[in-house]
Amino acid sequence: MATLANGIRHLPGYLDRAAQERLVELIRGIVAEAPLYVPEMPGTGKPMSVRMTNCGPLGWVTDREKGYRYQSFHPGTKKPWPAMPEELLDLWQKLAGYSKPPEACLINFYSDDAKMGLHQDRDEADLVAPLLSISLGNSCLFRVGGLDRKGPTGSFRLSSGDIVILGGEGRLAFHGVDRIYPGTSTLLRNGGRINLTLRRVNS
């Protein structure tokens, strides 16, 4: 485990190949029930370059009219999000260091040309609980900074099976994905990267 600036923790290769394959199988089941969709930026309606869905009691969504928020149902199907798999709940219990369980797992799918700009995750009422992020598929260049968007940042590579935990001072650190490295993993049949982010929403 590497501890980075602000106490952010990086656990390279935490999940072995079998565990990664099991998670991908579970995600396929979730996506069959709650399809990936293209989220929109608030105000402008500009589509993001990732596709997303969620599992758990709550899901993070965004659109032009209502902006960033959590809700209990898929914006397309209007059905409740699928239940969060026990495997994810177990990872949270082992690694998060937080007594309450996660309420949302955001599933982002990055095609090989997708990116994610620097941002803070601060739509949660509980900003003490950490964020637990799991990488599956192709590697990416992950950028992380401090509490000021214009402050200094550093980048490091995340590979399939890596876990990153943003907690403590680093809970509100600006972070993003600069690029995907195509062909760096054989986990996903058609390439790309999946990122799972477990979150506690309510205090």
- pLDDT tens column, 182-203: 999 999 999 999 999 999 999 8
Question: Edge-to-edge strand order for the sheet containing 175-181?
Answer: 116-119, 175-181, 139-144, 154-158
Q: Give the pLDDT confidence score for residue 147 in this predicted structure.
A: 87
Q: Give the pLDDT confidence score for residue 100 in this predicted structure.
A: 96
- CB-based contacts of 92, cutoff 8 Å, min separation 6: 98, 101, 102, 132, 198
Q: Give the pLDDT confidence score for residue 159 in this predicted structure.
A: 98
Q: Are 179 and 113 in contact (CB under 8 A)?
A: no
Q: Give the pLDDT confidence score for residue 7 in this predicted structure.
A: 73
Q: Give the pLDDT confidence score for residue 5 in this predicted structure.
A: 65
**Structural domains for the chain:** 2-199 (2.60.120.590)
- pTM of the predicted protein model: 0.94
pLDDT tens for the chain, 203 residues long, are 666 767 789 999 999 999 999 999 999 999 999 999 999 999 899 999 999 999 999 999 999 989 999 999 999 999 999 999 999 999 999 999 999 999 999 999 999 999 998 999 999 999 999 999 999 999 999 999 888 888 888 899 999 999 999 998 899 999 999 999 999 999 999 999 999 999 999 98
- pLDDT tens column, 151-180: 888 899 999 999 999 998 899 999 999 999
Look at residues 131, 130, 191 and name the one whose alpha carbon lies nearest to residue 160: 191
Q: Tell me the residue type at 25.
A: E
